Every structure is written in structure tokens, then in C-alpha cells.
Structure 1
């Protein structure tokens, strides 16, 4: 039967950690501790979705960060510099990630709805395994536990925007057609991951990195500010190739119903 059999979900900003603050704040802290170089929260968000070593590398290549680095050291960032920042980042992230393990509003109910439709729940993350081993049980204790998970350093080819983590979910879950899978993410590299894996890709414009607000900030925003931020986030996700963009995971069942209708007519991603 041509229908969605599995969803593959990102973590921070998609299922837990509204606004994706756990990783971004730690990048800022790691740069400061390792080399006394300042990066802003907005800069730290730009490469979100990549593996964390690759994220640091991309962050160092941003013109604004590179200019500060060059002014301080008279040279561009090296692989050794990235290693030192990563070594600083990891223990900070492992210690902090459990504080951002609460499921985003609507996630637990959405997962229950999907499971009632016999849809399997996969997941993957830009977090390395050492971080995921802390995050998984903390999230499970608060009501969210996917059927499987893959960390960015689990597979030799690498992480996003390549398809490998998404495809490992397909293998683990036993799904026979990638066109019967939906990849959901709040950042561009994760959308590209789904596209490269041959899946339907759904972007989340409000709950995650591109919107970039805490739940409390979001709740206090004016409708105009929400609309402006949503529009900007959606544009980035559509530009990355998203087939659909919705506010949060709570809207996913409606998207899947639409995809199922398209599959029934013979459409593919």
C-alpha cells in the first residue's frame, strides 16, 4: 500500500528544546573558553544541523567570525583550532543537554497519533553519540522515545547534509521504500538530508533554529513579529528543498494525510 510508513525526526528544535538553544549556547561558550573569541548566538545558529565538528568549522568560516579570528591571531582557523574548540564543546554539551530534553508542546500527542496509524518513528541528530546517550533517556523519562536513533558520528561517510543517517533509519526500521518516509527538521542541512535520501522533507518554521526564540519569548510575541520570523524561517527551509513547511511537529499528521493522497495518485518526492 502506498502510504507513509515512517517518519525520521531531528532532535533539538524538532522534538525537544524549543528554539534549539542547547547546542547554540554551548558553541558560544566553547569559542570563548577555548580561544577567548566571541561569537554571537545568531552566528552560532547559521550552520545548525551539521555535525558539531563541521559546525565549528563552518562557524569559523563565517566572514564576521573569521574577521575577529584573523584580528586576534593573524591567520584563519585551523583544523587543530577546531579540535580544541570541539574538545571544549563536548563536555559542556554532555553536561547541559539534559536540561533541554523536555518534548516540545504537541510532540508526545503527535507521536501517539502517528503510532496509532502504524507509522514507525525514527530519529537522527547533529549531536554525536556521547551527547545522544545522555539526551535519549532524559527525553524518554519525559515522554518521548523514538523507535531508533542515529548520531552524527555513527556512520563513516559523515552527517548532514548527506543522506546516511536517514538511510540508516530506513534499514533499522525495515522500510521498503524511501518514498514512504518523511524526514522532519528545523534546519536547512536536515531538509537537504531528507531530499538526498529520496524522502519527503518537512520543515518546522517556528519550533526550531530558524525562528530562534524560547517558548516563553514566542508566547509573548506580537502576531506581527511571529509572522515576520515565520516567513523568514519558512523561506530558508523551502530554499533547502522542503516539500512542506509547518510551524511545529503538531501539524505533521495533516501533512502526512496530504502526502498519502499524493502517493495514492502515483506521486513521489
Structure 2
């Protein structure tokens, strides 16, 4: 009869990494497209093609997920379900999600370049990270066909990363950890705790947690706030504080380790994480 293994045989913890090795970024609302308008506005248009009235607030409700999953979520919002039923007298089927996705994708490909402006401070933070010897990965809710249109515009502005993993390149995208872990594999990272996931959405932060990484939520530059750079600059101090508090509350649902306004504020956070790793902490 085989012996049972010792109860302490497999309980030894792997050593905590001593240094940060990689930063893993989202794209829209994180590195480009302040306010994350490209996905939301085009979702509204795609739904309108099918006679469904979707507003921007509803469109933002599942931002961060892969776009097919995002559309599935939106179709099952009660107001959208009611509209659909009134039109078709039946429940929503997978073919309906496929149809709206098929309408959405060419619109997104055609328009993504119009929302490709780098977020202020993004290039500077990337250059700082390079100077620290960090690897720069990324993952996105966009499929590869959309990223192929976006990347040349991003790179022309100095946003050059080591890796991009797209939502249609893994079996399950956010909030599951597959895209983040693909970065760990392809960038040859020694430990998930040596990675920092930077994102402007709840599913993106949840993805980082699920992958065992440090997480940084972006309060003002992305989906949680949903305002353009110009709109943010026009706010009075008390208005800005209110907007920041509301957006922070949205992201705190995912319990990020850090909250900052935008990627421009990233270097001090990475230095703090480095200190915590040196002291033996893990995410």
C-alpha cells in the first residue's frame, strides 16, 4: 500500500523575488486614449445598428473584458434585454452576440487610430522603466486585428513594449489571468510577484490579482473616470477631487494595491513595491 506523503512535504513557499522584473500594462485608458473612448463609443454605434439604445455609462460597465465577452455582458443588462425582447419576442442567443461583434469589429479597426494619442507622461514612465532594467509587457481587451492598427501609431509616439497579448489569443481573457500569465511566460519572468499589472478597469485589476501580481489602478486616465484630458483640465479643484473620489470608489471594488491618477505617476509606486519586495512582502 503506497504511503501518504508527509503533510509538510509540499508546503515550503517559493522564495519571494528580490526585485521588480516586469510591468504589464493595459492599453486604452492606460497608455493611449485618455478617458478610454474608442471602445465605448463604438460599442454604442454597433448596438445602434441593431436598433438597441446603449448609452456610454452602460458601455463602460464591463470595460476591460475581451470585446466578445463585453458585448455578451451588455446584451444581458436588463434595459438592453427588454429592448431586444420587444423587437424579437425571444431571448438573446449566441448568434446575436456574434452578429453585434461582427458589426463592432470593423468599426473598431477603422476608428482605433483616431483614439491612439499617448496619455501624457506615458512615454516618460516607459523610458524610466527601461532605465531601471524592467521588461515591459502588456495585454488588452482588444483582439489582435485591432491592435495591429493601433500599435504603429503608439510606437510612432515612443510607446514601445516588449510584448502585446490580445484577448483573442488566450482561451479566457479578463478577469481570468491567462493574458497576464502569458506575459510571465514569454518575458521569462522568475516569479509572478516580480510583476506589476497596471490597468484602468476592474476586470484588469482582477486579472492581476488572479495572476498573483501587484496591481495598480488608474483613476483619472481611464474608464473609471471616463473624461477626456481636456475635460479634466477644465475642472476646478473641488470638482476634480469629487471626480477622483468617485472613480476611486469604482476601482476599489477590485482592491488594487495602489491607486494613482495616471501612468505618469507610476515611478514612485514601482520604487515602493521594490522596497516591499526587499522586505520580503508579496502581493
Name which of 10, 20, 31 aligns with 1:15.
Answer: 31
For residue 255 of structure 1, the aligned residue among 254, 260, 269 is: 269
Cα distance in 1 between the residues matched to 2:75 and 2:57: 14
- What's the offset of the Cα at 1:139? 0.7
The one of 50, 68, 72 equivalent to 2:65 is: 50
Match of 1:82 among 75, 94, 97: 97
Q: Distance in 1 between matches of 2:275 and 2:79?
A: 46
- 1:74-223 to structure 2, matched below 5 A, reads 74-155=89-170, 157-223=171-237
1:238·1:244 contact (CA, 8 Å) conserved in 2? no
Aligned position for 2:76: 61
Q: Does 1:6 align with 2:13?
A: no
Q: What TM-score do you get using the length of structure 2 for normalisation?
A: 0.92
- Which 4+ residue blocks in structure 1 deviate beyond 3 angstroms? none
Cα distance in 2 for residues equivalent to 1:241 and 1:67: 33
Separation in structure 1 between the aligned mates of residue 135 and residue 254 of structure 2, nearest angstrom: 25
Deviation at residue 73 of structure 1 after TM alignment:
2.5
Q: Verify: 1:27 aligned to 2:43, yes or no.
A: yes
Q: 2:259 aligns with which of 228, 236, 245?
A: 245
Gaps of 5+ in 2: 1-16
In structure 1, what is the equivalent of residue 279 of structure 2? Answer: 265
How many corresponding residue pairs?
267
Query: Secondary structure, in 3 states, of the residue corresponding to 1:153?
Result: helix
The aligned residue for residue 233 of structure 1 is 247
Q: What 5-or-longer segments of structure 1 have no aligned partner?
A: none
Q: Secondary structure at the match of 2:172?
A: coil
Shift of 1:229: 1.9
Cα distance in 1 for residues equivalent to 2:82 and 2:227 = 27
Rg: which structure is higher? 2
Return the offset for 1:64. Answer: 2.3
Deviations, residues 20-78 of structure 1 (Å, cap 9, x unaligned):
00000000000111x11110011100000000000000011112222222233333322
The equivalent of 2:4 in structure 1 is none
